[in-house]
Every structure is written in C-alpha cells, then in structure tokens.
Amino acid sequence: MTIVLVGMPGCGKSTAGRQLCRNLGWRFVDSDAEIEAEIGGTIRGYFDRYGEEAFRDVEQRAVERLSAPGQVVLATGGGAVLREANRVAITRPGNQVVYLRATPEELARRLRHDTQRPLLQGVDPLKRLKELFRQRDPLYREVATFVIDTGRTSVPTLVNLLSMQLEMAGLSSRKA
C-alpha cells in the first residue's frame, strides 16, 4: 500500500509524511524533491523558465511513477490533483489518499515568509490561497480516502491522527 498525502501548499504533507514514515518504518517520497532532482534545479526556476504547463507535464510523469503501490508515504505537490491523470494515478488500487486540509488563513500564516512557491510570488498570498483553495478543495475531496483537518495542530498530533485513522481502517499498525 502507498499512502498518498494531498493538500494545499503548507498543509504539512512533507513534514507529517516524514514523521509518519518513521512511525511505520516505511520509505518517504516527496514528489517535489524528486522533480527537482529530475530537472536539476528548483521548481520555481523551472516555472519561471518554462511555465506552469511544462511543469505540470514533468509532475504528471513523476506522480505516475511515484504513486505505484509499495510501503511508501508519498507527499504530492499542492497542484498535483489538477490533472485527471494524476488523480487516477494516486487513487489506483492499493493506495490510500489522505487530504490534509487547512484553511487559506492558516496556510497564509504558515507560508508568510515562503519565497519558493511559484504560485504565491508577487501576489497577495491570502487572496491567492483562497482562489487555489476554491479550485482545489473539491479535487482533494474527490480523491481522498480520509480528510484530516490540520488547523493549528502540532506535527506530533497530526501524525498521531494520521496513524489512528489508518489503524481504525485496519490499514496499518504502529511499530512496537
């Protein structure tokens, strides 16, 4: 089984995913980090040079490859759900998709000093996050096996919520 974490930028996919892997004894994969290794630079630089559509092409290939079933926790990029091919890939049999949901206001607070996320540069971040949330929230919900509201939850509490949800569904058990 692969556990796929989806949600808005800054919702905690990578941070919680790494900790969840330590608890499960699984491998962690961050699709954005894999993409940066593939393109030999930053996503922001790639966006600036080639545009969003070209980036989404690279992302689609990565999501297809990385979402294959295995003992992996995969943190996807916030916009991965925009393409139908990605939604199909992450929901393939054997995968469990967890939507880490946070409000645009909470995300703006968390990302207020971020300079690396291309879609939040040069704009009012809260306004942009509200637009992205309106567009993406239905897609996250469409693919989600579980929805966990992150709010102001600490990382250990969030990981505990994730672990408990997986246990209650009979999908994992914690390491002793």
Q: Which residues are annotated as a binding site for Mg(2+)?
A: 14
Residue numbers belonging to the annotated binding site: 10-15, 32, 56, 78, 117, 136
> How far, in Å, CA of 31 to CA of 28, rounded?
10
Q: Which residues pair with 5 in a beta bridge?
A: 75, 98
Going from the C-alpha of 67 to that of each of 30, 63, 87, 96, the distances in angstroms are 11, 6, 10, 10
Residues in the chain: 176
Residues of each annotated binding site for ATP: 10-15, 117
Angle at alpha carbon of residue 46, lines to 45 and 47, rounded to 5°: 90
User: Which residues are part of a known binding site for substrate?
Assistant: 32, 56, 78, 136
Provide CB contacts within 8 A for 149, sequence distance 6+: 101, 102
Please report how many Cα atoms fall inside a 13 Å half-sphere around the Cα of residue 27, on the Cβ side: 11
